Structure 1
Amino acid sequence: MQDYLKRILTARVYDVAIETPLEAAPNLSARIGNTLLFKREDMQPVFSFKLRGAYNKMAQLTPAQLQRGVIAASAGNHAQGVALSAHRLGCKAVIVMPTTTPQVKIDAVRHFGQDAIEIVLFGDSYSDACTRAYALEKERQLTFVHPFDDPDVIAGQGTVGMEILRQHQAPIHAIFCAIGGGGLIAGVAAYVKQVRPDIKVIGVQTNDSDAMFQSMQAGQRVQLNDVGLFSDGTAVKLVGEETFRVCQHYVDEIVRVDTDAVCAAIKDVFQDTRSILEPAGALAVAGAKLYAKREKLTGKTLIPVACGANMNFDRLRFVAERAEIGEKREAILAVTIPETPGSFRQFCTLLGSRNITEFNYRFADPKAAQVFVGVQVKDPAETATLVATLQQNELRTLDLTDNEMAKLHLRHLVGGHSAGVSDEILFRFEFPERPGALMNFLNRMSHNWNISLFHYRNHGADYGRVLVGMQVPHHDKDALRAFLDGLGYPYWDESENPAYRLFLG
């Protein structure tokens, strides 16, 4: 273990890597009552810490090894580190990546040269890609640059810990590192625990990719059958032999977080830095928040390593959808209300001034209406209070906030054909995103008209897109026109829309 201190102090990383800042997070710090400092490894030239270990390993290869070339297996960030290092050192590199790797990472690797870099896509996870890389290593007589299970790679990553202690010499309660194979936390822990053993080093993993957690619990390496791919940068089925040995010796504990918590952490970092981390990059932040809450910490300094920002842009839709739930600031409810005029208005009145984030309803039964609604809340306690209030007013309510099927699928499927709806007219509106816009709509609408369909989802714009079906008798057409014109909201009649006829009419 003493050897790691020397290896880290003499690591060759700064030919290509930069010393990243330790940046304050004032908004998140104020919210959790502790000082959070982000170690901004997402600011590296390849937007990840992986460059450190890859270059440190390759810079120590012999000229003959460099001449033959190198090979690596990676979910993306290590691949970019190897590619940049190969470009700088003038050698060829073969990169084996899982087929699930985000396109942004594949394109980033290709950026370093089509002639020098060969990309091979194989398997669904890092472990699958690694198996293929080992076969190609022997077949082509290449030098394997492991993403984590190599002392030189671990030492390169350990320079992150060295920089943290140099940059912040005041007390630190804990440093948090995301764990995939364990290279980053092994390097950081090996340095920190030999220089400042009072500082806790805490690993963070997702619930569905927790190979290191299970291995530490079992006292031996445990191989997972499957891993979750949302945090693709940490989707490792089997941790390294050397990283496991170092973690057993130095790591204080490992906390696990779910997908919603990671999405919330991505949003937290954005609000403080205006930077967007990838899921693996935000893992440490999610872990620090969970740990601070669990331990009831106040006034402590916590340093999560923001280890990567190679985010697939398409994934942002999912992150934005789940961030509020991850912070327990959105409640998802299923509410049964009487299918009678005025009951919808009564229900909205009971919600009070709370911001409605989503509303899905389709007429299905002449006696009872099933409403799927999202409501912005301060915390889980407010959710419980709201549910109790609705129940007391004889509105049967089911809390779906932690129901994965409801969050992933049901919210997009509420609706369908309804044979019992007559005289239905469908309108698409743009509601102003301000309190009272919905109640203004309901109060102006004739009490003789029934709402048969309602769909709304807050998209963060200055107006809300709302789809409304109303049962309006033919003789009320003039009154309908007066209502629409007096409302003042932009609207479009979608009653003849073929999509409506096919799926909802």
Structure 2
Amino acid sequence: MPHTYIKRILDARIYDLAVETPLDFAKSISTRLDNRVLLKREDLQPVFSFKIRGAYNRLLQLNDEQKARGVIAASAGNHAQGLAYSAQHLGIDATIVMPRTTPAIKVEAVRGYGGHVVLHGDVFDEAAAHAQQLVTERNLTYIPPYDDADVIAGQGTVAMELLRQHPANIDAVFIPVGGGGLAAGMAAYIKFVRPGIKVYAVEPEDAACLHAAMQAGERVILPEVGIFADGVAVKQIGEEPFRILQDTIDGVITANTDEICAAIKDIFEDTRSIAEPAGALSLAGLKKYVAEHGVHGQTLIAIDSGANTNFDRLRYISERTEIGEQREVILAVTLPEKPGAYRTFCEDLGRRNITEFNYRYASDSAAHVFVGMQVAPGGSDRRELVTRLVDKGYQVLDLTENEMAKGHIRHLVGGHAPVLDSQLGLEERLFRFEFPERPGALVKFLNHIAGRWNISLFHYRNHGSAFARILVAMQVPSSELEGLYTFLDNLPTYRYWDETDNPAYQLFLA
């Protein structure tokens, strides 16, 4: 039962290496949400994440023979750094298997702490399988990142500190979840010591393994996971964490990429520190909870779990933040193709900050304009703007939630494709692809698709994320369409979406 962890947590002797992190009041976000929001600053640990707690606590339990043989772990980065740093402190050799998609800052940090890095696979589960193979081959002791009682107890010390630091009323605590070690340790302690506090687990929408398990009543394996929040990109919740979490959490909240990016900005504005996507995840969940339940005047705590992110990823995060905060609207507006139409349109927009304005001539009768504008958060200003433009006679399509529009159309300059020769029976089909970003990945992708059909549009942009996004149009004979889709279905590791009917494509590119 979860209460058995209380003694383990109290007995964790980790503070000669880990530090007690502060519980900071987030003034700006508190004012905006009309709740008292506090951040538990695990990004201030020596390895910039909470993972040092569990890793060090587990190493302290090893006997001399195990220490002499060395240890191994699989990790997307933060457990790797915590283990390497702890092992170096204790004089133990550490091998870390990391996914090839792990941000370089984490890989180099592990090496800097004396760990031997093996890069294998694109997600954590592939790295974990390889680590288990090396355990057998090299007779090493495996140190799990989350599915281990001593690791869970080490992470549970976050809750022990939190409740000691804030003895006054706490309404809810929001905890990020990947494999579940941090959430399990914290939830077990909180529910035993102060059961009236609500505990919510927070996951990315595209890696919600705990949410799926709670719905099914048993652990399930997700067919694939998104890796933007690489620190929590896990296909299956840990066995022991799931056993604990079933009885200790009050719910699971999921957040999308834009919401996570907005939370990164929130943390920066209050602390002047930059959280990694997994580090800001729990704040994204907290904000969603406030919005959905309409709570006011409560004390809410989020765990800022880490700050290990590549600097070049900030460009992508910044782009998506305004939409995640609902501070930007993206519209496709049809104007009459006549002198003065643009001036009239800008006047009709009022005194709004325009963030994007794209146009290319398409016909003599109408112009399709791609326009981005800042709006007040909350959604009502966005709806009022669209309604006002429609009332003035404009045809308006809201593309704010259109992934292709956000990721590709706003960066493309060109115009409509020429009309295809109907005698040749050609059709232009548009596809959006995602695949793990690593050196050589783009060339490998091109080698897969080149030479089969004529490529009529191609857009790729390296935005510093852990995955690549590509937009491709191909001219395909009608008789070969079935073969095209069979080919795409069999591409290894490439997810794709048929965007041919996407209105953003039809308006600006088709």
Give the TM interval when normalised to the shorter protein: 0.7 to 0.9
Counterparts of 1:389 and 1:300, CA distance in 2:
36
CA shift for structure 1 position 341: 1.0
Contact 1:364–1:418 (CA<8 Å) still a contact in 2?
A: no
1:330 pairs with one of 305, 309, 328: 328
Q: Does 1:277 align with 2:275?
A: yes
Counterparts of 1:340 and 1:408, CA distance in 2:
30
Letter in 2 for 1:398: L
Identity among equivalent pairs (%): 58
Corresponding residue for residue 113 of structure 2: 112
Corresponding residue for residue 369 of structure 2: 371
2:136 pairs with one of 135, 138, 141: 138
Counterparts of 1:199 and 1:333, CA distance in 2:
42
Corresponding residue for residue 401 of structure 1: 400
Corresponding residue for residue 257 of structure 1: 255
Corresponding residue for residue 472 of structure 1: none
Contact 1:123–1:129 (CA<8 Å) still a contact in 2?
A: yes
Counterparts of 1:11 and 1:63, CA distance in 2:
19
Q: Does 1:387 align with 2:386?
A: yes
Contact 1:357–1:374 (CA<8 Å) still a contact in 2?
A: yes
Counterparts of 2:317 and 2:343, CA distance in 1:
32
CA shift for structure 1 position 112: 1.2
SS of structure 2 residue aligned to 1:52: helix
Corresponding residue for residue 15 of structure 1: 16
**5 Å matches for 1:396-475?**
396-416=395-415
Counterparts of 2:144 and 2:105, CA distance in 1:
22
| Cα deviation code 1:397-448 (max 9, x no counterpart) | 10001111111111112434899xxxxxxxxxxxxxxxxxxxxxxxxxxxxx
Letter in 2 for 1:181: G
Contact 2:34–2:296 (CA<8 Å) still a contact in 1?
A: yes
Q: Does 1:178 align with 2:176?
A: yes
CA shift for structure 1 position 30: 0.6
CA shift for structure 1 position 318: 0.9
Letter in 2 for 1:298: H
CA shift for structure 1 position 63: 1.1
SS of structure 2 residue aligned to 1:54: helix
Counterparts of 1:384 and 1:414, CA distance in 2:
28
1:203 pairs with one of 201, 204, 215: 201
Letter in 2 for 1:405: M
With over 3 angstroms needed to count, the CA separation of the structure-2 counterparts of 1:354 and 1:53, relative to structure 1, is same
Contact 2:48–2:307 (CA<8 Å) still a contact in 1?
A: yes
Counterparts of 1:207 and 1:2, CA distance in 2:
30
Counterparts of 1:414 and 1:174, CA distance in 2:
47
Corresponding residue for residue 288 of structure 1: 286
2:243 pairs with one of 235, 242, 245: 245
**5 Å matches for 1:57-96?**
57-96=58-97
| Cα deviation code 1:144-163 (max 9, x no counterpart) | 00000000000000000000
Contact 2:29–2:270 (CA<8 Å) still a contact in 1?
A: yes
CA shift for structure 1 position 330: 0.5
Counterparts of 1:170 and 1:418, CA distance in 2:
64
Q: Does 1:39 align with 2:7?
A: no
CA shift for structure 1 position 366: 1.7
SS of structure 2 residue aligned to 1:208: helix
Corresponding residue for residue 26 of structure 1: 27
Corresponding residue for residue 228 of structure 2: 230
The worse-fitting range, judged by mean Cα deviation, of 150-159 and 117-126 is 117-126
Counterparts of 1:102 and 1:385, CA distance in 2:
41
SS of structure 1 residue aligned to 2:132: helix
Counterparts of 2:165 and 2:95, CA distance in 1:
36
CA shift for structure 1 position 276: 0.5
With over 3 angstroms needed to count, the CA separation of the structure-2 counterparts of 1:167 and 1:351, relative to structure 1, is same
Contact 1:71–1:145 (CA<8 Å) still a contact in 2?
A: yes
Corresponding residue for residue 489 of structure 2: none
| Cα deviation code 1:195-246 (max 9, x no counterpart) | 0000011000011100011101111001011000100000000111100000
Contact 2:3–2:189 (CA<8 Å) still a contact in 1?
A: no
Counterparts of 2:228 and 2:258, CA distance in 1:
11
Counterparts of 1:224 and 1:16, CA distance in 2:
36
| Cα deviation code 1:27-52 (max 9, x no counterpart) | 10011110000000001010000000
Counterparts of 2:212 and 2:356, CA distance in 1:
38
SS of structure 1 residue aligned to 2:207: coil
| Cα deviation code 1:162-184 (max 9, x no counterpart) | 00000001100111110000000
Letter in 2 for 1:327: E
Counterparts of 2:416 and 2:136, CA distance in 1:
60
Letter in 2 for 1:373: V
Corresponding residue for residue 309 of structure 1: 307
Contact 2:24–2:41 (CA<8 Å) still a contact in 1?
A: yes
CA shift for structure 1 position 3: 2.1
Corresponding residue for residue 471 of structure 1: none
Contact 1:223–1:238 (CA<8 Å) still a contact in 2?
A: yes
SS of structure 2 residue aligned to 1:61: coil
CA shift for structure 1 position 2: 2.7
SS of structure 1 residue aligned to 2:247: helix
The count of aligned residue pairs is: 417
| Cα deviation code 1:285-325 (max 9, x no counterpart) | 00000001111110000000000100111111111001010
Counterparts of 1:216 and 1:8, CA distance in 2:
25
Counterparts of 1:180 and 1:72, CA distance in 2:
16
SS of structure 2 residue aligned to 1:38: strand
Contact 2:276–2:308 (CA<8 Å) still a contact in 1?
A: yes
With over 3 angstroms needed to count, the CA separation of the structure-2 counterparts of 1:241 and 1:359, relative to structure 1, is same
SS of structure 1 residue aligned to 2:234: coil
Structure 2 unaligned runs (5+)? 419-510
Counterparts of 1:398 and 1:166, CA distance in 2:
52
**Taking structure 2 as the reference length, what is the TM-score of the superposition?**
0.81
Corresponding residue for residue 56 of structure 1: 57
Contact 1:183–1:243 (CA<8 Å) still a contact in 2?
A: yes
Contact 1:363–1:418 (CA<8 Å) still a contact in 2?
A: no
Letter in 2 for 1:11: A
**Taking structure 1 as the reference length, what is the TM-score of the superposition?**
0.81
**5 Å matches for 1:144-155?**
144-155=142-153
> Could you say what the CA RMSD is over the residues aligned between the two structures, in angstroms?
1.3
Counterparts of 2:333 and 2:416, CA distance in 1:
20
1:344 pairs with one of 342, 345, 350: 342
Contact 1:54–1:82 (CA<8 Å) still a contact in 2?
A: yes
CA shift for structure 1 position 118: 1.3
SS of structure 1 residue aligned to 2:253: strand
Structure 1 unaligned runs (5+)? 420-505
SS of structure 1 residue aligned to 2:206: coil
SS of structure 1 residue aligned to 2:273: coil
| Cα deviation code 1:433-482 (max 9, x no counterpart) | xxxxxxxxxxxxxxxxxxxxxxxxxxxxxxxxxxxxxxxxxxxxxxxxxx
SS of structure 1 residue aligned to 2:332: strand
Corresponding residue for residue 499 of structure 2: none
